[in-house]
């Protein structure tokens, strides 16, 4: 790799923006190290949930999302970022090395995409049907061919599959009903004292709201209100991202596609919520796999819909200070 050295302030700002990427329980399981003209991304398992994601798959997907967010951030700053994945065969937590080239003129669309990172948030509330869905769906279907994500499949489930998805979600919930370690972990990552990680109470659903989102994760409920009483049912569309195998390379690319879809939806004025509990339990994962009609392995689902202009009802989740996730070495 023979890139250029990026100003430290530019690099720091880009990493800070990239770390707005979604991650399992907002655990932010990544670490960045800058060594002159190369920035390395590492999986940080020390800060990660252990009982929700027993295989570690979701942590790598999370890192794929932050990698794509970082490229978006650097593009807005005027740099092309090229990733060399898994450069150290003896350390699979070393996910990639990234170098940079000046991009010259920066089109306004790159800045708009970076601004979408700031606006995007995980919205667990019920959604109204997304407006102009057919046009957005046509755009989505072009994504896999337009990007370097070999081995990653995207399927938009038909509305008729909702009953099966609800059954899969209920099966995942019942399978873990007596899993004390899992529920303790959920509680630990959703405390009211979330300062730099975890899910704040304001982002959780009340019992009335949770009842209308039948395919959501069974997080602890919070409050007694109903922020969207006019949305009687969750009329979201559901996208499934699958991979041909469970290798870290495939999972990393899956996270990159996840990031891209979330940002595209945000730019289109749509609300999103990432779902992974349906793929954590083998029985529910098999149901999702059957719904896709593919031999690939489901990794993550995305609810996409409309919040009817009430984007401010769910707070932004906190993030760790950039000084905790980025270090510089000579």
Q: Dump pLDDT digits (tens) for 16-26.
A: 999 999 999 99
> 194: pLDDT confidence band, cut at 50, 70 and 90?
low
Longest Cα pair distance anywhere in the chain, in angstroms?
57
- 8-120+320-328 CATH: 3.40.109.10
pLDDT, average across residues 156-171: 97
The domains spanning 8-120+320-328 and 133-313 adopt the same CATH topology? yes
Fold of 133-313: NADH Oxidase (3.40.109)
Contact criterion met (CB below 8 Å) for 97 and 1: yes
Cα–chain center distance at 16? 16
Q: Mean per-residue pLDDT for 134-162?
A: 89
Task: Show the 3-state SS of 224-238.
Answer: CCCCCCCCCCCCCEE
Q: Measured between alpha carbons, how far is 284 from 165 in angstroms, rounded to an integer?
A: 9
Instruction: Report pLDDT digits (tens) over 228-251.
Output: 999 999 999 999 999 999 999 999
Label residue 273 exposed, middle or buried (CB < 10 Å: 0-12, 13-18, 19+).
buried
Q: Name the phi and psi angles at 63, rounded to 5.
A: -70, -35
What is the share, in percent, of the chain residues with pLDDT greater than 90? 86
- Quote the CA–CA distance of 299 and 250 in Å, as a whole number: 10
Q: Alpha-carbon torsion 7, 8, 13, 18, what sign?
A: positive
Alpha carbons 299 and 278: distance in angstroms, whole number: 9
* Residue boundaries of the structural domains of the chain: 8-120+320-328, 133-313
Q: How large is the average pLDDT for residues 310-317?
A: 83
Rounded CA-CA distance 267/260 in Å is: 11
Which tokens belong to 209? Answer: 């709201």
pTM, 2 dp: 0.96
Residues 119, 122, 128, 131, CA torsion sign = positive
Q: Which residues, other chains included, contact 222 with Cβ-Cβ below 8 Å and sequence gap of 6+?
A: 190, 201, 202, 204, 205, 206
């Amino acid at each position: 790799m023979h890139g250029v050295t990026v100003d430290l302030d530019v690099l720091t700002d880009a990493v800070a923006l990239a770390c707005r990427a979604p991650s399992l329980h907002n655990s932010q399981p990544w670490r960045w190290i800058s060594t002159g003209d190369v920035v390395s991304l590492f999986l940080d398992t020390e800060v990660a949930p252990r009982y929700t994601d027993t295989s570690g798959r979701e942590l790598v997907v999370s890192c794929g999302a932050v990698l794509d967010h970082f490229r978006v951030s650097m593009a807005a700053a005027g740099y092309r970022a090229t990733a060399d994945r898994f450069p150290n065969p003896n350390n699979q937590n070393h996910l990639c090395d990234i170098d940079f080239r000046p991009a010259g003129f920066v089109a306004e669309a790159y800045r708009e995409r970076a601004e979408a990172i700031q606006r995007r948030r995980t919205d667990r509330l019920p959604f109204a049907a997304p407006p102009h869905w057919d046009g957005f769906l046509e755009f989505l279907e072009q994504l896999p061919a337009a990007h370097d994500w070999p081995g990653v499949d995207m399927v938009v489930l038909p509305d008729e599959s909702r009953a099966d998805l609800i059954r899969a979600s209920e099966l995942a919930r019942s399978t873990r009903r007596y899993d004390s370690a899992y529920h303790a972990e959920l509680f630990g990552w959703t405390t009211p004292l979330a300062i730099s990680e975890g899910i704040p109470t304001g982002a959780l659903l009340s019992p009335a709201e949770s009842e209308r989102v039948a395919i959501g994760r069974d997080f602890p409920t919070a409050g007694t209100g109903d922020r969207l009483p006019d949305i009687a049912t969750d009329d979201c569309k559901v996208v499934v991202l699958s991979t041909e195998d469970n290798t870290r390379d495939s999972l990393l690319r899956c996270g990159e596609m996840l990031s891209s879809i979330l940002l595209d939806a945000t730019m289109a004025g749509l609300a999103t919520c990432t779902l992974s509990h349906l793929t954590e339990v083998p029985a529910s994962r098999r149901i999702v796999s059957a719904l896709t009609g593919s031999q690939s392995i489901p990794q993550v689902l995305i609810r996409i819909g409309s919040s009817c202009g009430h984007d401010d009802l769910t707070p932004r989740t906190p993030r760790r200070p950039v000084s905790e996730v980025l270090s510089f070495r000579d």
